[in-house]
Amino acid sequence: MIDRPKSVLIAMRKTQSYRETKMRLLQKLTGIDFLKASFDEGIKRERDWFTGFHRYQEKGDIIDSFVKGEPISCFSGKEDGLFYVAFYSGSTETINYLTVEARPSHFFIKECGAHFCAFRFQKEPSTQNVLVRTIKKSALEDMVENYALMLPYKKQNVAFQNQFTMVYHDWDVLLCQEGRCKKGLPIVDHCVFDETCRHYLFM
């Protein structure tokens, strides 16, 4: 019991004002200890702070970034071509997410070896509103296969066509081949290098 006052009263002075200040500090620290003991007792929760992706505040933030052509943090599951963007559900037990679908045959373009194509949100068939799904946080870990960043394809004075590519957490990229999307190592496309310069690669 002497440890707390000893650490506070070190270099104690003999003036009354100094003594009162120290006594108030001791009282505050004791009160904080009581509060901590009351609220922490019996509560043992393990918390995994790392998620690998950003959780947006609300659905509108994600849609705005998509329409404006801003980078979007997402994750993918086992199914190629589908990506999920998370946002808060208002509950500590669940999380909401939107599903974004790659369309490799729409507005496909190769730029500096990166593959871009059109993306769209999955929508509810009846209302055509953007589909929102909810999942328990405990089940989320089994759903996540990879983390990724959606990077937009934008050019000055050209209308944005919802074209994105993906860069994954392990530096793999989105590959659009034969009308399908998959995750893989970056590849050199033939159109990247001019015929007159290509022979320098093999010198």
pTM attached to this predicted model: 0.66
The residue range of the domain holding 17 is 3-39
Q: Is the pLDDT of residue 75 over 60?
A: yes
In terms of domains, do 111 and 24 share one? no
* Beta carbons of 98 and 62 less than 8 angstroms apart: yes
In terms of domains, do 94 and 175 share one? yes
As a whole number, mean pLDDT of residues 83-104 equals 91
Give the DSSP H/E element, type plus range, for residue 143.
helix 137-143
Read off φ and ψ for residue 142, nearest 5 degrees: -70, -25
Return the closest-CA partner of residue 72 out of 103, 104, 107, 100: 100
Under the banding of pLDDT at 50, 70 and 90, the label for residue 198 is low
Which pLDDT does position 40 carry in this prediction?
A: 62
Tokens 């394809």 locate to 153
What is the distance between the alpha carbons of residues 81 and 117, in angstroms, rounded to a whole number? Answer: 11
Return the closest-CA partner of residue 171 out of 143, 149, 144: 149
109 part of a folded domain: yes
In terms of domains, do 35 and 73 share one? no
In terms of domains, do 12 and 91 share one? no
CB atoms within 10 A of CB 32: 10
Q: Is the pLDDT of residue 3 over 80?
A: no
Which pLDDT does position 201 carry in this prediction?
A: 57
**pLDDT per residue as tens digits for the range 146-196:** 999 999 999 888 889 999 999 998 888 998 887 788 888 887 766 666 666
What percentage of the chain exceeds 90 in pLDDT? Answer: 30
Burial 133-165 (b: 16+ CB within 10 A, else e): eebeeeebeeebebbbbbbbbeeeeeeebbbbb
In terms of domains, do 7 and 71 share one? no
Which pLDDT does position 48 carry in this prediction?
A: 56
Which pLDDT does position 200 carry in this prediction?
A: 62
